[in-house]
Amino acid sequence: MNMKNVPIICNFIGISLVMAFLIKCIIDYTQYSSITNSAPFYVWILTNALYFLVPAVIMFVFGKYLRKSIRDTFPKRDKTN
C-alpha cells in the first residue's frame, strides 16, 4: 500500500463516522419516545457523539498529521529533470 494513501483512508473513515452519526441520530429520533425512555434525547445524541464523532476527530487529526509527516519526509520532486 502506498504511504500517500493512508491520510486519504483516514479522512474517508472520519467522513464515514460522521455520516454514521447523522444516520444514527435520525434513526434514534424516529424511534425515541419520551414516555418509554427515562433519558432525554440529548443524552442519546451525546452518547452517539462519544461513539462516532470522537473517533472521527481522532481520524481527521491523525490523517492531517500523517499528511504533514509524509510531505516532510517525501518532498515533491522538480519536474525540470
Neighbours of 41 (CB within 10 A): 14
pTM, full prediction: 0.80
What is the model's pLDDT at position 72?
A: 77
Residue 81 has pLDDT above 60, yes or no: no
Q: 21, 78, 79: which is closest to 55 by C-alpha?
A: 21
Residue 31 sits at the vertex; the CA angle it makes with 44 and 29, to the nearest 5 degrees, is 50
Sign of CA dihedral 38, 41, 46, 50: positive
- Per-residue model confidence as pLDDT tens digits over 20-46: 999 999 999 999 988 888 889 999 999
